[in-house]
Amino acid sequence: MDVIPAIDLLDGQCVRLYQGDYAQSQVYDADPVAVAQQWVEQGARRLHLVDLDGAKAGHPVNLKTIEAIANTVNTSSSEPVAIEVGGGLRDYASVANLLSTGIQYAILGTVAVENPKIVQELAQEFPGQIIVGIDARKGKVATRGWLETSEVLATTLAQQMAQMGAAEIIYTDIQRDGTLSGPNLDALRELAEAISIPVIASGGVSSVTDLLSLLALESVGVTGAIVGKALYTGDVDLKEALRAIGPGRWQDIPPDFGASNFA
């Protein structure tokens, strides 16, 4: 399972929101490029970038910063670093432009609800590179930078997007995001069991123990975990997390980590 550091961009800075609320943002670093380099130096092989300004505006805003991150980490790293980007990608041209810069994955959110046909077209044009981000409140999909909540069920949208060729689903439980309250394991299991493509968990991870709980869902299709606030607060040490779920990970599970976590 991948551990994927999150870098959320707002006003050119690296921030974290609380439950998706732009009014409750905390700046963690004024230099997102340096932050990305830090996670790669600690072993990250994939980064999750969110253009929060773009999500709010409806079109990409932080492309220069995103390109700088991608160029820096792939120039300095001995191994390729995959970059996935979401936020404001709501038309064909924006996605095509992003992927033309060498970014590996484009994450579509709002447009998957409002104009799903574009997802199908892009998945055919860029096979394996289109990820659909499903952000949900109480099981219903939120759109437009989490500012609106639709009546579409997360599982229904995931099934539709899988049929249209999405490579992966990133599932974010908004009520857990930025709270360090633990991932919504039941919702993740339900979603992963409903589709045949991989699911990346996002929201609420607060410890390596949470990551081990997610690891137990790998058998049903949860193949990665995006970690944000917990990395910035120090609640999760990236090197430790990568060791815990890397080769030999089952031997490294703490003896007091109850079997009920793997039910």
Catalytic residue set: 8, 135
> Distance between CA atoms of 36 and 47, rounded to whole angstroms?
8
Those residues whose C-beta lies under 8 Å from the C-beta of residue 130, and which sit 6 or more positions away, are 95, 105, 106, 108, 119, 122, 123, 165, 166, 167
Burial class from Cβ neighbours inside 10 Å (0-12, 13-18, 19+) for residue 75 reads: exposed
- Beta bridge partners, 83, equal 47
Q: Please state the separation of Cα 184 from the chain's center in Å.
A: 15
> Distance between CA atoms of 147 and 254, rounded to whole angstroms?
40
Nearest to 200 by CA among 8, 57, 6: 6
Query: What are the backbone angles phi and psi of residue 24, rounded to the nearest 5°?
Result: -120, 60
Burial class from Cβ neighbours inside 10 Å (0-12, 13-18, 19+) for residue 222 reads: buried
